[in-house]
Amino acid sequence: MWRAFFLAVGAYCCFLGVEALLLDQAVLKPQVRGGQQIAPARVISPPDWAPWSLMGAGAVVVLYSFTIPKRVTG
């Protein structure tokens, strides 16, 4: 169970890193209620270091997840 959890977390981090590498910015929809805009659209721009850090950390966690069964049963 722990192996699957860490594998999923690592893969998710790698996926977010690739996504941040490909996208310059993400614009979220504004909140609208009754035809009137309540909150403005939110723009998210990842910093330059984020894609590489997420992909690197995700890769380390994925590699770590492959060693967990040996440690638990070992």
User: At residue 74, does pLDDT exceed 60?
Assistant: no
Structure-model confidence comparison of residues 73 and 20, the more confident one: 20
Q: The pTM is what?
A: 0.77
The answer to whether the beta carbons of residues 7 and 59 sit under 8 Å apart is: no
Q: For 24-54, what is each residue's pLDDT tens digit? A: 999 998 888 888 888 888 999 999 999 999 9
Determine the Cα–Cα distance for residues 18 and 44; give it in Å rounded to an integer. Answer: 16
Give the residue extent of every domain in the chain.
2-73
The answer to whether the beta carbons of residues 44 and 25 sit under 8 Å apart is: yes
Identify which of 47, 66, 63 has the alpha carbon closest to the alpha carbon of residue 14.
Answer: 63
Query: Taking residues 56-64, what's their average pLDDT?
Result: 96
Q: For 17-28, what is each residue's pLDDT tens digit? A: 999 999 999 999
User: At residue 73, does pLDDT exceed 60?
Assistant: no
